[in-house]
Every structure is written in C-alpha cells, then in structure tokens.
Amino acid sequence: MMRHAFASTVLLVLFAATATADFLVTKDGRVVDGKKITRAEGGVRVAFENGEVFVAEALIGDLMIDGEALAPAVSEEEKLQAAKGMVRFEGRWMTPKSRDAELKKRMDKRLADLQLFKEHSQWRNRHKVSSKNFEFEHTLMPEVFENYRELMEAYFAQFLRDWKIAPPKGLGKLKVCLYSNYDDMIQIGGAGGGVLGYFRFIPPLELNFFHERLDVAFTEEVMFHETNHYLQKLMDMEFSMPHFPGESLAEYYGASHWDPVKKKLTTGLILEGRLVEVQDDIAGGTMMSLEKLVSTGRMYEHYTWGWTLAHFLMNDKRYAPKFQKFIVGLVSAKDVKREVNGQNLKDVEPAEVFSAFKRYLDIKDGEALKKLEEEWHAYVKEKLTLVTPRGKEEAAKSAMNTGRSIKAKRLFKEAIEGGSTNPMTFHRYAGLLARDNKKDEALAMWKKAIAMDPLTGEYYWDMAWHVKDEAEQKRLRKLAKELDPDGSYSELIDLTGLKDGDG
Amino acid sequence: MRLASSFLAVTVGFALWLGPAVPPALALSIAVEPVAAPQAKSDKGVCEDTRYGFRFKAPKEWTRIPLKLEEQWQVAKYLSDKPYFYTDPTDGWTNEHKPQATVIAFVTEKVREEAKIRKQKDEKGDDRYVILISNPYKDYLDYMKRTYSGGGWFVSDEKEAKLEDLPVTQYEIKVEKLTRDGPKRIICWVYHTPEVDFAFHWEVLESAYPKLKDTVYDTLKSFKLIARTGSGLPTADTGERKIQLDDYDKQTPEQRKERRITLEQSLHAKAKTSVPDGWQVLQVGRFLVLNHTDEKYARRVAEHCGVIFDWLDEAFPFVGPTEYVRAPILRICKDRDEENSLQPAGLDQRRQIEIVISQDNNGFVTGWAVERINRQLLTLWFSERDRDLSRAMPYWLREGLGQVIGTARAKGKKVEFRTDDWERDGIRELLREGNATPIQTLIRMGIEDFFGKAMSTWGGPAKEAGGLVRFFVTGPASKNPKTRDILRDYLKNLKSTVNELKAADEAAGKKPDGAPKTEKEEEEQYKADAQRWKQREKQLLDTTFEKTFRSWTEKDWEAFQATYLKAVL
C-alpha cells in the first residue's frame, strides 16, 4: 500500500477539503511536513522559518499541498459545466461535493501512509522482508530497498556459480540489517565509529550496512564487500579466511555493477576510492612489497594494495586460475596447514598463507617473487586509472584532505565538467574556491549544490561565511540549523556575536 | 570488514575500512580544572538532592557510588550489590554484569549558559584562553548516542506519561547487537521540569530484567521534586569544565611548577569534596587516596607508589631535575564494576592525575592492579619531568620500561622486580622458532616495524623490549661496568638528539614561506612531508644509537648478545 503511494511522482492538486498541513517526501526518503508548500516553476517552494527553499520536481517522491486551488475553467465545455455547478475530476464531471469526498478519502489514506512511513523509519518498526537467500530488516523506503534486494540475490547467484560453491544443506537465509543512514548503523549495529559495514562471522551470522543517500554507489560497494565475506564463508562454514586474501578479494568484488535492465552483474571493476589511496601512497614515495602484503597477518593495506593485487591477478589469464586455486586451497587443500583459532574456526597463519601463495602461483625463488612484484607494480601504475567523475571526486577529496589543494581543485573541476551529480563535490569545490578568495565562483558552486540537494544544511552554513550581507549570513546559518539541527556545525560555537572578555 | 579509520575491536566480524588512523599532533597541553560534582545525600534509604531539588527511594541492596569529576551532569549513581550472569550460547562464555542506575541532569536551554571562549590575562600578563564547556548533551537520547558503548541499541518503546503532575517520557531501550556482557534492557524515565530534565537511567541484563523490574519501577515511581534549599540551581558549576590551554614550551620550570601545584591542589581538593558516604580519604605521603576497600591494602598501595617515584628519581636523576611531578590521586574501588564506572574518560584523560584501580583478587604482588598503577606512574613521571623526552622515547624503550616497572613491587623502602612469565616464555618461543629480533635491530626499530612484527608474532617485540630493558636494569648488564649505565646514557643521548632536531626545526622554520605554486611543486612537497615523519624517526633512532654505542665493536655486540641469551634462556 505505502509503496504505491510513495513511488508515485504524480502531484495531486487538492482543494481545502481538510485543515491538514502540507507535506513533501523526497525520493531519498526525507520528509518535510508542517511547512507551507507552494508550487513554483519546475518544483515547489517550502516556507521555513528562516526563508524559502526551492525543491525541484525531480527530487520529489511525493507531495501533498493542502488547500491548493484548481486552475480556473478555460475551455467552453469547462465553462458550461462550471455554470451547472459541476467540476471535472479525472475525466469525469461531478459535483464539487463528490469530488471533495473522493479527494478527502485519498488524502486521508496518504496521510496515513506518511504516518506509516515515519513509523517505519524507527528501528522498532522496521520492515522485515524475506527473499530467496536473505532475511532483510530495514528502515529504507521500500523502492530504495528493492534495489538492494535484487542486487544481493543476483550477486549471490553469480558468485556461487563463478566459484563453483555449493552452499551447505540447511544453510537458511542470512539476516541482513540495512539502515537508512550511517549514524543508525553505528548506534543500532553497535560496531563503533569508523565502521562502514560488517559481517558477523560467528552464529548468528549477520550482515550490517547502511544506505548513503548522497553516494549510492558507495553503499553498493560496501554491500558487495560485506556480502562477499558471507560468500567466502560458504566455501567452508568452519573456516575463517585470513585477512589477506579475504579483505582483498572482498574489495575486488566490491567493485561490481548491476544492470537492472539487462539483469547483468559485472564484477572486478575499478574500485576508484581504493585506487586513489594507492596513488596517494605512490605520490608519497611508498610502494608496497609483495612479500609484506601477503605475509602480514592484518594490515590496512590489504584493502588498498591488496585490492590492486587481486585485480592484477584476476585480470591476467596466466595468474587468475592459480590465484583462485590458492584461495580455494587455503580453505580445503591438503597441502595447507590450518590451525584452530580462538573462535573455534579453522585458520591459516600468515607465514603459511605466504608459503601457499608462492606454491600456488609457482613462485620458486626470490627472483620470481621480485618479477611478479614488478609486474604488479607496473600494472598499478599503468593500467589502473580513474575513469568516472566519481573516481575524480574521490581523488579530489583525498587531495583536499592531504593538503594538496591545487590538485583537488583541478580534479573537482574535471569531475563537474565530466557530469558529476554529487552536491558534495560542488560544496567541497566551493570551499576551496572560497579559500582562494574567489567568492563569486564559490557562491555559484554552493548555489548549484543547493539546487541539487536543497534540504541539507551544511551548504547554507558554509555559504553563509562568504555572503557579504550580515543579515543574510545570520539567516543562512539559522536556516542551516533549522533544516538539519544535527549537522556537523551543530556543536560549533558561534563566536560572531561574542566580544572580548565575554563569559 | 570495512572501516573508516584505525583498527577495530570487532572480534566477531569483518568490517570495512575507509582509511588508516592518523595520530593527532597536540601542540598545547590541556589542563582540566573540574568543578566539584554536587553530591546528592543518602539518608535512611532516600536519595535527596537539595541543589537540584529531587528525591527518590534508594534501591535496596544497591550501593551508591561516587561521580566522575569530569561527568558532572551525572547527579546520582547506584550499582547493584548482586551480580547477574549471561552465558553466550555461541561460545559458552559466561559474563558477569552488575546493574546500574544513574540520574543525569540536562539543564534546559532556558537556564543553560552557552559555551563561551574568553581571552584573559593571568597574573603575569600572559594571554590564556579559557573554554567553558557546558553539558555537551542536548537531551537523554543525545547523551545515549554519544556515550553508550555497551553494544548496538535502539528505542524499543517510548511513551509520554505523568507522575502525579510531573510530565515524564518513558523510554525502553534494547541493546542487542555486538553487546558487551550480553543483551541488555535499559529503562529510562525523563522527568521534565521547566529548568531541568532529570533522566533516571537503568541498565540491566535482558535475562535479569524480569527479576529486577519491580525494583526499577518502584524506584522510578518514587521520584519526587522537592524545594531547592541549596545554593541554587547549579548551572555554572554543573556540566561545565574549565579547560586552560597552557603553552608549556614558553613557560619556565618555575612557572610550570607553580601551575602544576595549583592544578594538583585544585584536583585534590575537588576529589575530596566529591567523595560519597562510605569512602575513606587518606593522605599517604604525597598521595591522596580515596579508598573504598580495606585501609591496609590502600595504605600499602600508596606507600608502594611513593617507593616507585623514589626509584625513578634515583634511577634517572638527570631527567628534568627541576621539574615538578604532580602527586596522583589514587582511587581504590571495592570491585571491578565500581572501577569501570569511575575510570576517567574523554579529552582530558591523559592529563588527569587520577589513577583508578580496584582491590585485585590476585593480590598485591601478582595482581594486575599494581602493574597498571606502576605503568601509569611511569608515564606520569616521564611526561612531567621531560615531555619532549617522553614523547621521543622509541618504542623498545617505552614498552621495555613499562614491562619492567610493571613488575616492580615495593619491599620496605626498596623495589623488587619480579619475573614476567609472559615476557620470558615469549622470548624463548621467538628464539626457538627463529623469529627473535637481533638486539641492534630492536634498538633501531621504528614504530611501523615494531607493530608490524607484533601483529604477526603475538606481541613479540614488546616481550623482547621488556627482556632487553630488564637485562639492563636487573640482569647481568646492570653489574658490568661497560653496560651498567647504558640505559641512562641512551636517555641522555636521546635528549641531546631531540634538542638538536628541535634546534634544526627552529632554524628551518625561519625560512621564507615556500607554499607550492603549481601542482608539481605541491606533489613534491606532499612526498617530502609523507617521508618526513619516517625520516625523523630514523634520524632519532640512528643518531641516538650511534652516540650511545659508537665505541662498541662487533666483538662487543657478540659478547653482549651471548650474555643476554644466557640470561633469558
């Protein structure tokens, strides 16, 4: 029921049949209610206490404007029927009373749907959906969720096929908890700050990740990565895959793409965020040693350099079958020494992982290891490149965070020229331009960010610092807090009105 | 698993990481001057607070525990005397948990002073910035979001009700995912008054909830507002900390001493006023002891601490000889649960001089409590005597000294060092498996290699560092004329190297600004910056090593290694 109401982008026009307030639901699930909404060219204006905000029609998932009048009669037929006291509603002529009754019925249902939607955003009222291989619990809009359900089922089927894995009998369905934002995942999932998703590998098995509304591709990467841990687990439920190659392979499969029309999954794409980290290491003068990467028990670089190694090996016909055999061999081959770890799972020590890696990849001596390392390094430098605006955004973000603002500006500009639709890119670029005192250009970028994502307070907050008019500065800051009271600026101390010696 | 930063303590899952942790560089030291927490009084089973104006029936067979100095928004806290247990069905481990109840005050916007920064002159006319931090939590749920660490939680029920005429929001929270100690139930009623919201928060194991719910709800229902007869609503001194940023580098030793003594006196005085009923306040030498266990144990611990400080004074007299080391506050709790609830936390943790332990069941000599105290005393002593030296200490020396001091126990006025089985057996295993680190390599090992090897050898380098420093302090090396002063010489040389590097930095800092103008220049600078930290660490290790061991021949090293192996095997 709710799904139909909120999937619709048709905007109903209502008479003042009831005194109910207007509401707007964006396509990514944010709700604005209790504010006066008026129609404007190409969208609507929402009247907040600190100013009007324009929301483009393309962003609107559902909308109800209470008391908005119908257009006046224009044609001769309309004038004739109007003279009889009749109105046309959905192709039929009827009395205003009948039409109002129909509208009220529909409006009541939609308000009830809105209430239900709000309730489902609380974890205690979460949706519970079962599919062939998963039991989902989530607080997303059903349309947004549907994409993940389809993706995960397709991914599950393809990985089992590619790796010839037969799931154990009586496996049951994996519980998947999907949160509508990062904070919810940290709070409800309990993993602590910094975690982007996790797979609980001891019973009860469980997968947790969140929907990043500003970067759905990122959410999918995390989902593919975490699901891959589950799929690795299906090779042997009693086995704990070592950090390398476990995390590196999960990252390799993290870069996958699902075509919903052709129903086709493509795996092993470029994981541009990780590539940027590797490129930063190289720019900083660090090349990873193959021996160190493979023989170290746990290291962060298994996600970055490890991904490049997996990508290199999986994309080279000489090595791909050997690398796959190495991974399967760690799980089940007789020539690999396994031990039982503290969680009562079979495990392989780092030294043994390295030894097996050399054996399965036919690395006979130090020279052969060096040769493979050189091939891999060359592949990283020459073959792995950033290809999409999103990759450039990632690189720009990283350059910005590491103090390379000249590079960051170039890459942000290229991402925007390449068709970026990420408002954060415009916002970040604006910040760098403002730092160079290019205020007009910066303000133009912030305006574009706001046009794309008008209900996020951060853009208004940062823009406020570069607006000349003091009253406008204050209004923008207040509007930011009104739109998003929990934004990153909410705890900042506003010193603008503070005089020396205050307090 | 995927992470945004640093290693994660999720031991049952794969998480996804976004980037490595970057250690923050703190240029200024932060000294915290907490204000005494207002203490509610308990009398005949009633907890009453006349400053805030409330009372409730105290739960029977629960103990009232003191409040943390830095969390003054908590106004009353109770711990159940009886523990409850949860056995994890996945691994069979049984966890113990003692239910807790806390009253937290959220002063409403109407009376809450906004956080302010003000610039002021001290008595000598130096600028000093003072930050007043209000209770940082907006309301109960905000407090939960930002402080709760017992597992993943969600509000499972929320109701608005009235207790007599007092509006109350009733929360029920379930803690279900990645829980510490097991799944839990949190019950919290928030009593709303025009000036203050009082959140009465109870946390119990889910399995114990049926047995405890009568106690929980009886107490919640007994909450009443009373007339405020104290010194008025504590808006200014509750939920606020005063943080002063002192630039120690610009102060003389006399100024630092004066400042530290002021802070010490302030912290001691405030700790004394925050002690609840049933706790004992003892002054043992320079140490202030807040004791909730038997006095004999408390005095023994405090006397031991004095002996450790004396040993450090005697062993390293050349380290910051004119600097003042603040006397710690020893808070000795009756058990581990009480200790956990009182551990200092947050921004000022490292600057706090309070050491919290509980009486250890394994006893004074073999228990962990004294080992932890010793390590904290060591850190405090070095950081106050010479902060630069303390920060520059290579990992082998920092960890090695920690290992050795950890096993020190006072016997009369002397210190005895016990054998550490973990360390000794670990070194033997490394030697057996051919994974031992040669001594010269260990002394020149950078932090990255140290941790890299520690990850693959279950902390191997830490054991080896302990073994080596022990060999210098108590082993044959402490008696040999060639090696008995090596540790002291190394520290002196480390200090001189630190000074040389500092002087070089200052000279380099005077060069004209070289901000990059092109992307190429920017990349070059980035590369140089990325390498600088490693180069600096290497420079520090190599130069100090060279200064200390320059006269040693290969033969000397061979002889030294042989004696060392003989001592550890």
Kindly state the tokens that stand for B328: 């710690």
Q: How confident is the model at residue B110 (pLDDT cuts 50, 70, 90)?
A: low
Kindly state the tokens that stand for A399: 């350059």
Q: What is the pLDDT of residue A400?
A: 92
A215 and A199 in a common domain: yes
Q: What is the pLDDT of residue B322?
A: 92
Mutation pick from A195, A404, A411 vs chain B, by most beta carbons of B within 10 Å, is A195
Q: Is the pLDDT reported for residue A336 higher than 50?
A: yes
Kindly state the tokens that stand for A449: 């960010």
Q: Is the pLDDT reported for residue B510 higher than 80?
A: no
Q: Which residues of chain A does B117 touch, with a Cβ-Cβ cutoff of 8 Å?
A: 493, 495, 498, 503
Instruction: Give CA–CA dist A416/A428, Å, rounded.
Output: 11
B401 and B388 in a common domain: no
B100 and B204 in a common domain: yes
Min Cα separation A240/chain B (Å): 10
Kindly state the tokens that stand for B149: 């660490």
DSSP string, B251-293: S-HHHHHHHHHHHHHHHHHHHHHT--TT-EEEEETTEEEEESS
B365 and B399 in a common domain: no
Residue with tokens 């902390």: B459
Kindly state the tokens that stand for B210: 């049926």
Last residue of a domain, one of A187, A202, A234: A234
The residue-averaged pLDDT of A427-454 equals 96
Mutation pick from B5, B16, B172 vs chain A, by most beta carbons of A within 10 Å, is B16
Min Cα separation B528/chain A (Å): 7
Please provide the average confidence, as pLDDT, over all residues in chain B: 82
Q: How far is CA B356 from the centre of its chain?
A: 9
B286 and B152 in a common domain: no
Q: Is the pLDDT reported for residue A196 higher than 90?
A: no
Q: Assess if residue A503 is contained within a domain.
A: no
Q: What is the pLDDT of residue B243?
A: 47
Strands of the B54-57 sheet, one edge to the other: B41-43, B46-49, B54-57, B224-225
Q: Is the pLDDT reported for residue B80 higher than 90?
A: yes
The pairing of beta strand B196-205 with beta strand B100-107: antiparallel
Last residue of a domain, one of B368, B392, B416: B392
Q: Are A323 and A330 in contact (CB under 8 A)?
A: no
Give the tens place of pLDDT for each residue, A400-435: 988 899 999 999 999 999 999 999 999 999 999 999
Q: Are B105 and B137 in contact (CB under 8 A)?
A: no
Instruction: Give CA–CA dist B59/B57, Å, rounded.
Output: 6
**Residue B155: closest C-alpha in chain A:** A124
Min Cα separation B323/chain A (Å): 33
Structural domain count, chain B:
3
B401 and B359 in a common domain: no
Which segment, A319-328, A478-487, B473-482, is predicted with the most confidence on average?
Answer: A319-328
Which one-letter DSSP state was computed for residue B86? Answer: E
A247 and A351 in a common domain: yes
pLDDT over 90 percentage in chain B: 48
The residue-averaged pLDDT of B216-227 equals 94
Residues 6+ apart with CB under 8 A from B440: B545, B557
Instruction: Give CA–CA dist B415/B478, Å, rounded.
Output: 15
B171 and B72 in a common domain: yes
B437 and B419 in a common domain: yes
CA A170, A175, A178: angle at the middle one, nearest 5? Answer: 160
Q: Which of A222-236, A480-494, B6-20, B387-401 has the lowest mean pLDDT?
A: B6-20
Give the tens place of pLDDT for each residue, A455-472: 999 999 999 999 999 999
Q: Assess if residue A496 is contained within a domain.
A: no
Q: Which residues of chain A does B516 touch, with a Cβ-Cβ cutoff of 8 Å?
A: 406
Q: What is the pLDDT of residue B49?
A: 86
Q: What is the pLDDT of residue B173?
A: 98
Q: Within a 13 Å sphere around the CA of A298, how many CA atoms are in the beta-carbon half?
A: 17
Mutation pick from A228, A274, A300, A494 vs chain B, by most beta carbons of B within 10 Å, is A300
Q: What is the pLDDT of residue B115?
A: 38
B358 and B416 in a common domain: no
Q: At what angle do helices A423-435 and A457-464 cross, to 10 degrees?
A: 10
Q: Do A194 and B18 touch (CB under 8 A)?
A: yes
B442 and B365 in a common domain: no
Q: How confident is the model at residue B15 (pLDDT cuts 50, 70, 90)?
A: low
User: Dihedrals φ, ψ of B390, to 5°?
Assistant: -60, -45
Element (H, E) at B337: helix B336-342
Q: Which residues of chain B does A295 touch, with a Cβ-Cβ cutoff of 8 Å?
A: 456
A29 and A79 in a common domain: yes
A153 and A129 in a common domain: yes
The residue-averaged pLDDT of A345-350 equals 90
SS3 A299: coil
Q: Assess if residue A488 is contained within a domain.
A: no
Q: How confident is the model at residue A119 (pLDDT cuts 50, 70, 90)?
A: confident
Q: Is the pLDDT reported for residue B282 higher than 90?
A: yes
Q: Is the pLDDT reported for residue A107 higher than 70?
A: yes
Q: Which residues of chain B does A196 touch, with a Cβ-Cβ cutoff of 8 Å?
A: 2-4, 15-18
Min Cα separation B401/chain A (Å): 27
Class of residue A226 by CB neighbours under 10 A (exposed 0-12, middle 13-18, buried 19+): buried
Give the tens place of pLDDT for each residue, B287-325: 999 999 989 999 999 999 999 999 999 999 999 999 999
Q: Assess if residue B1 is contained within a domain.
A: no
Which one of B4, B116, B145 has the shortest CB-CB distance to A503? B116
Check residues B154 and B25 and name the one with the higher pLDDT: B154
Last residue of a domain, one of B347, B368, B392: B392
Q: Assess if residue B262 is contained within a domain.
A: yes
Element (H, E) at B542: helix B519-549
Q: How confident is the model at residue B42 (pLDDT cuts 50, 70, 90)?
A: low
Q: Look at residues A138, A134, A128 and name the one whose alpha carbon lies nearest to residue A188.
A: A138
Instruction: Give CA–CA dist B376/B2, Å, rounded.
Output: 33
Last residue of a domain, one of A185, A209, A234: A234
Q: How far separated are the first and last CA of chain A, in Å rounded?
A: 56
Q: How many CB atoms lie within 10 A of CB B318?
A: 11
Q: Which residues of chain B does A493 touch, with a Cβ-Cβ cutoff of 8 Å?
A: 114-117
Q: How many CB atoms lie within 10 A of CB A457?
A: 22
Q: Look at residues A182, A40, A24, A52 and name the one whose alpha carbon lies nearest to residue A460.
A: A52
Mutation pick from A196, A282, A305, A494 vs chain B, by most beta carbons of B within 10 Å, is A196
Instruction: Give CA–CA dist A15/A20, Å, rounded.
Output: 11
Q: Which of A60-69, A96-105, A419-428, B185-194 has the lowest mean pLDDT?
A: A60-69
The residue-averaged pLDDT of A178-197 equals 89
Q: Assess if residue B128 is contained within a domain.
A: yes
Instruction: Give CA–CA dist B200/B241, Å, rounded.
Output: 23
Q: Is the pLDDT reported for residue B440 higher than 50?
A: yes
The residue-averaged pLDDT of A23-46 equals 87
Q: How many CB atoms lie within 10 A of CB B22?
A: 10
The residue-averaged pLDDT of A24-44 equals 86
The residue-averaged pLDDT of B364-377 equals 88
Q: How many CB atoms lie within 10 A of CB B280?
A: 14
Q: Is the pLDDT reported for residue B127 higher than 50?
A: no
Instruction: Give CA–CA dist B108/B103, Å, rounded.
Output: 15
Q: Assess if residue B546 is contained within a domain.
A: yes
A66 and A11 in a common domain: yes
Q: Which residues of chain B does A286 touch, with a Cβ-Cβ cutoff of 8 Å?
A: 530
Q: How many CB atoms lie within 10 A of CB B157?
A: 11
Q: Is the pLDDT reported for residue B124 higher than 70?
A: no
Class of residue B56 by CB neighbours under 10 A (exposed 0-12, middle 13-18, buried 19+): buried
A88 and A177 in a common domain: no
Q: Assess if residue A490 is contained within a domain.
A: no
Instruction: Give CA–CA dist B320/B197, Å, rounded.
Output: 49
* Structural domain that includes position A63: 2-115
B374 and B430 in a common domain: no
Q: Assess if residue B119 is contained within a domain.
A: yes
A250 and A381 in a common domain: yes
The residue-averaged pLDDT of A46-74 equals 81
Q: Look at residues B374, B444, B451 and name the one whose alpha carbon lies nearest to residue B408.
A: B374
Give the tens place of pLDDT for each residue, A257-290: 888 788 888 989 998 888 988 998 898 888 999 9
A421 and A357 in a common domain: no
Side chain identity at residue B93, one-letter code = W
The pairing of beta strand B46-49 with beta strand B54-57: antiparallel
Q: Is the pLDDT reported for residue B350 higher than 50?
A: no
B484 and B356 in a common domain: no
Q: What is the pLDDT of residue A422?
A: 92
**Residue A249: closest C-alpha in chain B:** B1
Q: How confident is the model at residue B537 (pLDDT cuts 50, 70, 90)?
A: very high
Q: Is the pLDDT reported for residue B478 higher than 80?
A: yes
CATH of the domain at B183: 3.40.1000.10
Kindly state the tokens that stand for B550: 């320059």
**Residue A123: closest C-alpha in chain B:** B154
Q: How many CB atoms lie within 10 A of CB B500?
A: 13
Residue with tokens 């599950």: A156
Categorise residue A22: left if φ over 0, alpha if ψ from -120 to 50, beta otherwise: beta
**Residue A344: closest C-alpha in chain B:** B91
A135 and A41 in a common domain: no
Which one of B10, B522, B529 has the shortest CB-CB distance to A406? B522
B403 and B269 in a common domain: no
Which one-letter DSSP state was computed for residue B477? Answer: G
CATH of the domain at A219: 3.40.30.160
Q: What is the pLDDT of residue B14?
A: 52
A347 and A401 in a common domain: no
A401 and A379 in a common domain: no
Structural domain count, chain A:
4
Last residue of a domain, one of A385, A420, A437: A385
Residues 6+ apart with CB under 8 A from B238: B35, B37, B38, B72, B73, B75, B105, B107, B135
Q: What is the pLDDT of residue A131?
A: 96
Q: Do B12 and A202 touch (CB under 8 A)?
A: yes
Q: Assess if residue A494 is contained within a domain.
A: no
Q: Assess if residue A10 is contained within a domain.
A: yes
Beta carbon pairs, A and B, within 8 Å? 180
Q: Do A192 and B518 touch (CB under 8 A)?
A: no
The residue-averaged pLDDT of A195-200 equals 89
Q: Assess if residue B73 is contained within a domain.
A: yes
User: Dihedrals φ, ψ of B66, to 5°?
Assistant: -70, 160
A244 and A380 in a common domain: yes
The residue-averaged pLDDT of B45-54 equals 86
Q: How confident is the model at residue B345 (pLDDT cuts 50, 70, 90)?
A: low
Q: How confident is the model at residue B133 (pLDDT cuts 50, 70, 90)?
A: very low
Check residues B399 and A30 and name the one with the higher pLDDT: B399
Q: Is the pLDDT reported for residue A325 higher than 80?
A: yes
Residues 6+ apart with CB under 8 A from B274: B36, B37, B39, B66, B67, B69
Instruction: Give CA–CA dist B9/A192, Å, rounded.
Output: 9
* Structural domain that includes position B120: 35-225
